[in-house]
Structure 1
Amino acid sequence: MTRILRCISPIDGSVFAEREALSPDAARATATRARAAQAGWAARPLSERVDLVMAGVEALGAMNDEIVPELAHMMGRPVRYGGEFGGVRERASHMAAIAREGLADLQVGEDATFKRYIKRVPHGVVFVVAPWNYPYMTAINTVAPALVAGNTVMLKHATQTLLVGERMARAFHSAGVPEDVFQNVFLDHDTTATLIGERAFDFVNFTGSVGGGRAMERAAAGTFTAMGLELGGKDPGYVMEDADLDAAVATLIDAAVYNSGQCCCGIERIYVHESLYDVFVEKSVETVRALRLGNPLEEATTIGPMANVRFAEEVRAQIDEALKMGATAHIATMPADDGAAYLTPQILTDVTHDMRVMRDESFGPVVGIMPVKDDDEAVRLMNNSEFGLTASLWTADLERAERVGDRVETGTVFLNRADYLDPGLCWTGCKNTGRGGSLSVIGYHNLTRPKSYHLKKVTR
């Protein structure tokens, strides 16, 4: 039976795009072509691969005027924010710049008798399953360095952003990357699981839900396929008594509601020293009340709909449950809130960790704020989570931040900023946030495997 994948626009609930999913046999043929093309691609000089990948990135940037409204239609981000190309270029450029370092041989030693070194060699076929919330930036995190490292890539995007992979493939092919080296595929879940189980891929990178990550691991069970998984998050902010209050409010609240709260490292809970708590809440409420919820195609809109009605339903459920348990909501329902995808951003106080809104991933424009008396209480609450992606600390004391950061169970610690991905650092998490890491030199290490050379010289 033919399976049709449909992108339902959150703007009005209409079908924005649809594509036919590949049959299992057609998907296998695609993977076979990728495997056949890999050795030739890896044999090209590193500089050539880098140049082709960066040309593909620039070709993608040339499409930005079309991409921005397309993203608004597919997942609801307001056009006023201009899309993702700045981040795409920054990440790809950094990975290109450090490619020689990241892929360099590790020299162990050479003398008259032996030459010993460790090479980084490509896995082979890399399968990238990208999410809808930042579909270009999350994809480029793996696509660019995987290609640079000599892998071939198959890219599958979320149905909510169905057209992104097509655009990326078109851009890279127009720049000279061979079609079998980088392929966009439309797959349903069953065919995806089948291919993984048949070991069609040598490395799988998945960004998505914890449930999706578990499904990937189940599909790969017994195949020993390497995986990189970025899954859920419940990222905390901690505002200490000496923090720059205005900067903390502006940054943390933006990190909580930008992109309708649909950010991998968005702030979902905030702990504020009790001496600053009341004024922090007051300023945060003022900030959120100034937002304009509406159609993302309108320049005046500062917060658009959530990408799908079912995502908004989960956020509403968490808010409603918290209110029944004693939480206080500070933002009145906005005129554009339709009870469906258009959701009023919300600030909650009088919250506790007994409430799902402070434990489960919300992935929407809601944040709970709690007072704390000291670092020990803040660390205990920040670590009281099944997730561990990032934490945002706010203080003028760098050494104190480092001490607190050492105790926080996350993949990244921010000081006086939040919700940002620095491509020079490894993007990674712990606990149910997943495993592995992308970007930085470590990203190259994860997209290759070590191969040791122990060469005994013939001497006379």
Structure 2
Amino acid sequence: MPTQVNPATGEEGDTFPALNDDQIEVKLAKSVETFRQWRNTDYQTRTDLLIKIADQFAAQRTTLAAIVTKEMGKPVKQALTEMDKCEKAFRFYAENGPAMLAPTEQKLVSGRSVSHWLPYGPVLAVMPWNYPFWQVVRFMAPTIMAGNVGLLKHASSTPGCAAALEQIVLDAGGPEGLFQNLHISSSKVAGIIADDRIVAVTITGSEFAGQKVAEAAGFNLKKVVLELGGSDPFIVMPSADIEKAATTAVTARLQNAGQSCVCGKRMIVHEDVYDAFMEIFAEGVKTIKIGDPTDEITEMGPLSSEGARDEIAEQLEQAVQQGATKLYGGEIPDKPGAWMTPAILTDIPDDAPIAREEFFGPVAMVFKVKDLDEAIEVANNIPFGLGSSAWTNDESEKERFIRDIEAGMTAINQMLASDPYAPFGGIKRSGHGRELGSHGLHEFMNLKNVMLPE
């Protein structure tokens, strides 16, 4: 039974009753019923609804942001930005979706082939708490445009966000069953994936959660998209604008209290500019405004829960035991809530296990390298391959980073961030498949090839 817990105060809020098996069955049956109707709607009907949903995000912006801040501690200014991004995604697919779904024709030796993008069916989404609206919208908007229907198993710590997402679709005039929220425990997920009415599943979450979902999907021969962990490199070379790189690195590492899969988690800095970078970066980490997440001047709030905070603190202690130097931070104040000061680790031994782990919280690992080759070697010396950021004004170095960094995404001279217009996803143990852009729209569709005579 999901219950709201305010991570800034530790106080409990509303409780949301968990669905029993009979109630889950009703939801699944409704999803199939609605899909049979929605799959036959024209593009204008779908885009009209997407625009109305975008309008709901604009109209309810402040209210929705407050739910995020209450449930997972995100500073309200960042929560408001999340709502704006959600609105942007719905408008993007409303404006561009029909063209992305247009049939394509290929002339053959004898006759021609026409490829059609057709709806797939009810898709299950298993989503996390760190961007409780945006992560779901990345799935929801293309699902509606594709002619599919969605079911959401959200994180147990953000039940209010989950309920609000379903209500937004209804408020916009969407049919009942188009997008349904499932207040269920994780133990129910495998059974739902196994149900023949579910055609595919997508998950954003931890590596462990991804393994469990992929295992269930694979056993049942269901399409799956995995957007999992990351330990993204943030590489700074001598030709870069060091002040801009270091200032941006503070935001890249500490946005959302460091609880983002594409945070710049490992700062890899050339030895020629290491001292200059660290002077600015360390000062930025030390002076970031930590406080009440409902205050608009706050830059960093609490972590999502005391349990999550304690895991980061333990991981930080392990890093020190393995030989890393804690340059600053990692303090836990004596007050209620999931508070912690951001930390910086340096001098991390090459063979330390911690060097290849993900800190899903406000801890920056900083590595000094002697040249381009070592920078790429350190960047790739992890099991993950989600995103990366490289700072250089040397064209040959840019080409090497684009070619050789093992990641699904690379940002040049800027902080990596998801955008509705661009594909999002990773390789290696960061998962597979793509969200957003045309690729995200096509992931859960049937590309039907139709063979025709001349």
1:205 & 1:378 partners in 2: Cα distance?
33
**Does the alignment pair 1:192 with 2:202?**
no
Return the letter of the residue paired with 1:166. A
Say which SS state the counterpart of residue 113 (structure 2) adopts: strand
Q: Partner of 2:63 in structure 1?
A: 66
Q: Partner of 1:453 in structure 2?
A: 450
1:100 & 1:199 partners in 2: Cα distance?
29
1:364 & 1:339 partners in 2: Cα distance?
18
**Does the alignment pair 1:30 with 2:31?**
no
Q: In 1, are the aligned partners of 2:9 and 2:336 still within 8 Å (CA)?
A: no
Q: Partner of 2:230 in structure 1?
A: 233
Say which SS state the counterpart of residue 168 (structure 2) adopts: helix
Shift of the alpha carbon at 1:63?
1.3
Shift of the alpha carbon at 1:450?
1.0
1:262 & 1:363 partners in 2: Cα distance?
5
Q: In 2, are the aligned partners of 1:155 and 1:184 still within 8 Å (CA)?
A: yes
Q: Partner of 1:108 in structure 2?
A: 106
Q: Partner of 2:51 in structure 1?
A: 54
Q: In 1, are the aligned partners of 2:345 and 2:364 still within 8 Å (CA)?
A: yes
Q: In 1, are the aligned partners of 2:434 and 2:440 still within 8 Å (CA)?
A: yes
Return the letter of the residue paired with 1:358. A
Q: Partner of 2:259 in structure 1?
A: 262
Q: Partner of 2:415 in structure 1?
A: 418
2:444 & 2:58 partners in 1: Cα distance?
25
**Which segment is superposed worse, 249-258 or 21-30?**
21-30
Q: Label 1:332 to 1:212 Cα distance change in 2 as closer, same or farther (>3 A).
A: closer
2:230 & 2:4 partners in 1: Cα distance?
25
Q: In 2, are the aligned partners of 1:8 and 1:15 still within 8 Å (CA)?
A: yes
Q: Partner of 1:179 in structure 2?
A: 176
> CA deviation digits over 1:249-308, x for unaligned, max 9?
111121101110011200111110001111211111110111132221233432111001
1:160 corresponds, among 157, 162, 169, to: 157
**Does the alignment pair 1:11 with 2:11?**
no
Q: Partner of 1:328 in structure 2?
A: 325
Shift of the alpha carbon at 1:199?
3.0
Q: Label 1:285 to 1:378 Cα distance change in 2 as closer, same or farther (>3 A).
A: same
2:303 & 2:180 partners in 1: Cα distance?
29
Shift of the alpha carbon at 1:227?
0.7
Shift of the alpha carbon at 1:114?
4.3
Say which SS state the counterpart of residue 420 (structure 1) adopts: coil
Shift of the alpha carbon at 1:411?
0.3
1:108 & 1:299 partners in 2: Cα distance?
54
Return the letter of the residue paired with 2:292. N
Say which SS state the counterpart of residue 241 (structure 1) adopts: coil
Say which SS state the counterpart of residue 390 (structure 1) adopts: coil
2:241 & 2:39 partners in 1: Cα distance?
50
Q: In 1, are the aligned partners of 2:47 and 2:93 still within 8 Å (CA)?
A: no
Q: Calculate the TM-score normalised by the size of structure 2.
A: 0.95
Return the letter of the residue paired with 2:156. T
1:15 & 1:312 partners in 2: Cα distance?
18
2:312 & 2:332 partners in 1: Cα distance?
18
Structure 1 residues 363-374: aligned runs within 5 Å = 363-374=360-371
Say which SS state the counterpart of residue 286 (structure 1) adopts: helix
Shift of the alpha carbon at 1:331?
2.5
**Which segment is superposed worse, 138-147 or 332-341?**
332-341
1:326 & 1:53 partners in 2: Cα distance?
52
Q: In 1, are the aligned partners of 2:6 and 2:71 still within 8 Å (CA)?
A: yes
1:92 corresponds, among 90, 93, 108, to: 90
2:433 corresponds, among 426, 432, 436, to: 436
Structure 1 unaligned spans of 5+: none
Return the letter of the residue paired with 1:59. Q
Q: In 1, are the aligned partners of 2:329 and 2:342 still within 8 Å (CA)?
A: no
Return the letter of the residue paired with 1:105. P
Return the letter of the residue paired with 1:99. G
Structure 1 residues 74-153: aligned runs within 5 Å = 74-83=71-80, 84-109=82-107, 114-153=111-150
Say which SS state the counterpart of residue 269 (structure 1) adopts: strand
User: 4+ residue stretches of structure 1 with deviation over 6 A?
Assistant: none
Q: Partner of 2:288 in structure 1?
A: 291
**Residues matched between the structures, number:** 453
Say which SS state the counterpart of residue 315 (structure 1) adopts: helix
Q: Partner of 1:402 in structure 2?
A: 399
2:79 & 2:315 partners in 1: Cα distance?
31
Shift of the alpha carbon at 1:438?
0.7
**Which segment is superposed worse, 349-358 or 214-223?**
349-358
Q: Calculate the TM-score normalised by the size of structure 1.
A: 0.94
Q: In 2, are the aligned partners of 1:53 and 1:177 still within 8 Å (CA)?
A: no
Structure 2 unaligned spans of 5+: none
Q: In 1, are the aligned partners of 2:57 and 2:87 still within 8 Å (CA)?
A: no
